[in-house]
Amino acid sequence: MDGSAGLIGTDKSIGWRGLGLVSLLANLTAEGLSMSEPTFPLVLKGRSVIQIAVNHPFRIGILGSGQGSNFVAIADAVAAGNIPAQIAVVLSDVESAGILAHARARQLPAQFIPPGQFRTKLDEAAERAFVAALKAAQVDLVVLAGFMRVLKGDFLRAFEGRIVNIHPSLLPCFPGLQSWRQALDHGVKVAGCTVHFVDAGVDSGAIIGQTAVPVLDHDTAETLHQRIHAAEHELYPKCVAALARKEISVVGRRVIWK
Ligand code: GRF
């Protein structure tokens, strides 16, 4: 029992396969690409669409620094056929990270890339190495699953509109570190998690999906964190599946589900 209140913007009763809202973009044609080609309609700037040709199957690169429980949830969903995609590579800035061990146990390509001299971001050489590994793996989507470094300009430009993250709060509340503790200290009655596109800010990109989680009177930071974590394991695979199925478009800050 995780107490989650469902994916905002979807009808929980229609279930996994039926998820999604109406795409506004079905009839739009992007510059140089016809709609008959496989495309990835993600970023709308004003009213213009950037569409990116995608691989078949859709290829995902996953980055994490920690235990990798969200990676496991996504990998299980891929293995079960619930995400029509292939995990092309798993990368970490932490050599001993559980996410690498989980990936290797699943015979997926997994690589540690030293992050360089900074604590909260990648240095230039490391950034280049991460981008090169993701390009070599020909990824269509970069999935951050507990990656504890802020991504900067060159990385963002290399995968513009194609990087997503999961954050343990109902953004825009409580960006940054230990959001569940911030939520508890603030006294909110509803916490949760958010999957969002990554932009140059901190946890500030367009919101793809959210799950609300109640804050209970007897909650400690640990019990609330646990409940949010369980909700993440449901939400992230659903959002990645919708992206892989190209069921998501972005209009300004609004993410539209087909
Ligand atoms: C999750 O709580 C996620 O919201 C945050 O980092 C944590 C990663 O956990 N971005 P795990 O490594 O997937 O278990």
Convert the pLDDT of each residue in 32-87 to its tens digit: 333 444 555 555 444 444 455 677 799 999 999 999 999 999 999 999 999 999 99
**What's the first-to-final CA gap in the chain, in angstroms?**
29
| Closest ligand 1 atom to Cα of 64 | 12
Token digits of residue 213: 């989680």
Instruction: Give the residue, 48 or 186, on which the prediction is more confident.
Output: 186
Mean pLDDT (the chain, rounded): 84
> Of the ranges 50-54, 192-196, 248-252, which one carries the lowest mean pLDDT score?
50-54
The two beta strands, 163-167 and 141-144, are: parallel
The two beta strands, 85-92 and 248-251, are: unpaired
Task: List the residue whose alpha carbon is closest to atom 14 of ligand 1.
Answer: 69
For residues 122 and 152, is the Cβ–Cβ distance under 8 A?
yes
For residues 212 and 5, is the Cβ–Cβ distance under 8 A?
yes
> What type of residue sits at position 197?
F
| Closest ligand 1 atom to Cα of 193 | 4
The torsion angles phi and psi of 46, rounded to 5 degrees, stand at 65, -115
Per-domain residue ranges of the chain? 37-257
The whole-model pTM stands at 0.83
Per-residue pLDDT band at 119 (split at 50, 70, 90):
very high
Ligand 1-lining residues (CB < 6 angstroms): 64, 66-70, 145-146, 166-168, 193, 229, 232
Look at residue 29 and tell me whether its pLDDT is greater than 60.
Answer: no
Topology of 37-257 in CATH?
Rossmann fold (3.40.50)
> Of the ranges 17-21, 47-51, 105-109, 204-208, which one carries the lowest mean pLDDT score?
17-21
